[in-house]
Homo-oligomer: A and B are copies of this chain.
Amino acid sequence: MNLEKPYIISVYAILRNEKGEFLLLRRSENSRTNPGKWDLPGGKVNPEESLKEAVIREVWEETGISIVPGEIAGEVNFELPEKKVIAVVFNGGYVIADIKLSYEHMEYAWFSLEHILKMDMLPVYFRIFFGRFSLENKKPYEPPI
């Protein structure tokens, strides 16, 4: 283990449809990290941005959706070969807009929390996030009227 890796901060959003399912994006086969695995929309915070500005920008770039980020839904950390990542996940709310993927992803889908908790093709840090999230959100999902 390299003990002098830099830390970076990334932000992600959970977005739900009217059934309460979560949006996941499948990473391109030529991604440097986790190719072909499912992903949350999000990415690295630029130095001059607030975390909320960063998550709005990243979700827009990766899905074409404009979100209004809500509360922080959770946080999870992980190491990549060259850096340590502090990942902050925002609640991105309820979404009915069309998804327009960027080159970073090759597919999208909406999955129930139950399904996500059993997925193999999800990076371990997002499995940890959703595991904690399910413990902390036991109430059934009620979509906005």
Give chain A's interface residues, CB within 8 Å of chain B.
3-4, 6-9, 45, 47-52, 71-75, 77, 86, 88, 135-138
Contacts of A4 in B (CB 8 A): 136
Contacts of A137 in B (CB 8 A): 3
Least Cβ–Cβ distance between A125 and chain B, in angstroms? 14
Given contacts A6-B71, A8-B72, A72-B86, 11 further A-B contacts (CB under 8 A): A3-B136, A3-B137, A6-B72, A7-B71, A45-B50, A45-B51, A47-B52, A49-B50, A50-B50, A75-B77, A86-B86
19 contacts between A and B (CB under 8 A): A3-B135, A3-B138, A4-B136, A6-B71, A6-B72, A7-B71, A7-B73, A7-B74, A7-B75, A8-B72, A9-B88, A45-B51, A47-B50, A49-B50, A50-B50, A51-B51, A72-B86, A75-B77, A75-B86
